[in-house]
Amino acid sequence: MEVLTGWWDDFFWGSLVVVKLFFVALILTVLFGLIGSAAKLSKNRVANAIANGYTIVFRGTPEILVLLLFYFGSAIALTALAQVFDPDVKFVDFPPFWAGSLAIALIIGSYATETFRGAFLGVDSGQIEAARALGLSNLQTFIYVRIPAMWRLALPPFGNHMLSLIKDTALVAIIGLEETLFVAEQAIGYTAKPFTLYLVVGAIYLGFSTIITLTVMLCEKYANRHLEIAK
Amino acid sequence: MIFDLELILDSIPQMLMGLGLTLQLLFLSLALGTALAIILLLMRISGRWVLAAPAMAYIYIFRGTPILVQIFIIYYGLPQLELVRESILWPILREPFGCAIVALSLNTGAYVSEIFRGGVLGVDRGLKEAASALGLSARQRFIYITAPIAIRLSLPAYSNDVVSLMKSTALASTITLLDMTGIARTIVAETYAPYEVFLSLMVIYLVLTWMIQRSFGWIEKRMSRHVRSEI
Amino acid sequence: MSDNQQDVIVQVENVDKFFGDFQALKAVNLTVARGERVVVCGPSGSGKSTLIRCINRLEAHSSGRILINGHELTDDVKDIDAVRREVGMVFQSFNLFPHLTVIENLMLAPKLVRKTSKTENRELAMEMLARVKIQDQAEKWPSALSGGQQQRVAIARALCMNPEVILFDEPTSALDPEMISEVLDVMIDLAKEGMTMICVTHEMGFARSVADKVVFMDQGEIVETGPPATFFDSPKSDRTRLFLQQILSH
């Protein structure tokens, strides 16, 4: 463990980057998932086609490729743009944090799209009719009846998506974001103890996965409290 | 943005040179991983705590950590240990190809064993009871009743996992292997044309995904002949 | 507007309804006056549920006119919402919101549609629960209640919006036999209090004792309409007679 002396704080800051990345990407994932499922369920053919293309591409190609494309692709575009103003500029990149969270959110969002779509379809139509019959508007029905009912159905698979999300954050080290895996690589340069240091990264991720799993379990318990037989 | 068509036409054959490696990684890890999954499954449903607990711990650890970290621990980490360097496995673990196969197999084994377990749990209790009433032993019940039905039930999830494994093979490029993604990254480093190269490669992976899904669709159809013949 | 017209709450004029090529309603005419209790019966697939679902626009009618308290039902969303506030509905499968407690089920629509205060809504909800004799279940989840209790909650939920008329779509068909009477008793109480009701039901005893008017439908048409005494004892149409024989023989 003396290998780690002097690196604890780096791992702490690296973990913090992972947490930030996770939450930013999580919010975007929910957003993409909702938009994607709405587009898949809409009667608009163009929206259907775009959403289908989205899920096919992002579920069918390697995560690392999407990430590399986003990072280097955006860097090319930004550099070209910068050179218009200042021909001496050599390289401008989109911050790895944002390129990473966007790429990960688009990937996990494509899975969330399918989950949300299924969950929306699973909501009992009788509940929606009851809300309409009580005079609730479309929007009110959506917010107070459809979303709460759909959320309960989506929670277990969405928990798995969150686990995929936290694990995908490790990939962002490849484009140079200073998260835990990146910290380990630097520490290895000094200590030559790769096994120990990568094991630490693994342990950190296992901790995050455990926290997410437990949180999802609690949420499911709360969400299904109406199903417990009342005393 | 103007695409360099010549570069695309030039790079696709180059990247396809890595197709063989990608497919080797996929099929070898799939075979080894599935075998491992069956062992883990039998340990979990053995009813014996000394077997079930290690299997559960294994699955928990490998599903709770990023595959990239697992690859790094095996490729960069293990040589730190003298025990490994002197073992008979060293010829395999010395090579990046061997390490990639080991990492991908260990990882996919954990996921597939959970998929199989879901299938086993999904088998109707009544069928098992009917089999015991006919005098079949526990082993016979598993081989002739539970397993065939469980395989059919697990097939859709298994096909998704094969696609995930195919996507994970792209991570072999992070440990110097020149699979399709590895070649693409080399080309991009030389030409600095991420859009052309990465987008073309994404199309190649999409075709692979499509082929995997089609094959499993065909297998599923064949396996559910008994359902259709009843109509 | 004359006095006579004001007393009409629901007016269905020459309404057709198509589902694709299938005609579910054929030139249906029905007038329901304030305080009137109408029972609609008929074999399954006769269009009776479609008719009341058109009355609060859960289905849009294909042609003809439907007027609720003088408002014509059109595609105008504002009009539909206005109409739905005056028309309560009770479903065959209760359709309580499973994620809300009993009292929250009752308080939701007043909060969102009428925007009254929480204390006011709670008071109102408790009052309506008392009316269906189920006030002691207020804090429970719907899934903890029996079918009969759930249907009574659904009736109380409709009452909270203080509707001019309540539509019942086979309210007892999904219930176990021993729970039917507790729901019918609540409906009879409502009828006695002068509530305007349109009930689709197979409960002929209820029709006979409560209805002012019985409507018999078959194959999308209204075959016969009349007060229960005439309807049950001397039906004019053969189709009605056949239906009554079948339904009363068991």
User: Mean pLDDT score of chain B, rounded to an integer?
Assistant: 90
Interface residues of A toward C, Cβ cutoff 8 Å, are 124, 126-127, 129-138, 140, 144-145, 148-149, 152, 223, 225-230
CATH code at position B78: 1.10.3720.10
Annotate A138-195 with DSSP letters as a single string: HHHHIIIIIHHHHHHHHHHHHHHHHHHHHHHGGGGGGGT--SHHHHHHHHHHHH--HH
* Contacting residues of B for A195, CB less than 8 Å apart: 73, 76-78, 80-81
Lowest mean pLDDT among B11-25, B47-61, B72-86, C26-40: B72-86
Nearest CA-CA distance, residue C250 and chain A, Å: 30
C199: left (phi over 0), alpha (psi -120 to 50) or beta: beta
Of C13, C7, C23, C25, the closest CA to residue C164 belongs to C7
Distance of CA A3 to the CA centre of its chain: 33
On the question of pLDDT at A71 being above 80, the answer is yes
* Domain total of chain B: 1
pTM summary value: 0.83
**Which domains are assigned to chain A?**
18-179 (1.10.3720.10)
Quick: pLDDT tens for B95-131. Answer: 999 999 999 999 999 999 999 999 999 988 878 777 7
What ipTM did this prediction achieve?
Answer: 0.89
Q: Is pLDDT of C198 > 90?
A: yes
Instruction: Report pLDDT for C79.
Output: 75
**How many Cα atoms within 13 Å fall on the side-chain side of residue B149?**
15
Q: What is the pLDDT of residue B227?
A: 62
Spacing of C-alpha C235 from chain mean position: 24
B115 vs A160: CA distance, rounded Å? 13
Q: Provide, as residue numbers in chain B, all residues whose Cβ is less than 8 Å from the Cβ of A194.
A: 72, 76-77, 79-80
> Best of A52, A57, A64, A67 to disrupt the B interface by mutation (most B CBs within 10 Å)?
A64
Q: Concatenated DSSP letters for A24-47?
A: HHHHHHHHHHHHHHHHHHSS-HHH
**How far is the C-alpha of B217 from the C-alpha of B73, rounded, in Å?**
36
pLDDT tens, position by position, C33-87:
999 999 999 988 899 999 999 998 888 899 999 998 888 888 777 777 778 888 8
Q: Are chains A and C touching, using the cut-off of 8 Å on CB pairs and a minimum of 3 such pairs? A: yes
| Count of helices and strands (H, E) across chain C | 10, 10
Query: What are the phi and psi torsion angles at C177 (to 5°)?
Result: -50, -40
Flag whether pLDDT at A224 surpasses 90: no
Query: Tokens 């409290």 appear where?
Result: A225
Between chain A and chain C, the number of residue pairs with CB atoms below 8 A apart is 79
Asked whether the beta carbons of C141 and C150 are under 8 A apart, the reply is no
Alpha-carbon dihedral sign for residues C60, C61, C67, C73:
positive
Range of B153's domain?
5-230
Extended strands (E) in C20-155:
22-33, 37-41, 63-68, 71-72, 87-90
Contacts of A124 in chain C (CB under 8 A): 95
SS3 content of chain A, % helix, strand, coil (to 5): 85, 0, 15
The strand order across the sheet containing C37-41 reads C87-90, C165-169, C196-200, C37-41, C213-218, C221-226
Determine the Cα–Cα distance for residues C228 and C230; give it in Å rounded to an integer. 6
In angstroms, rounded to a whole number, what is the distance separating the alpha carbons of residues B174 and B104?
Answer: 13
d(CA C73, CA C58): 11
Tell me what percent of the residues of chain A surpass a pLDDT of 70. Answer: 97
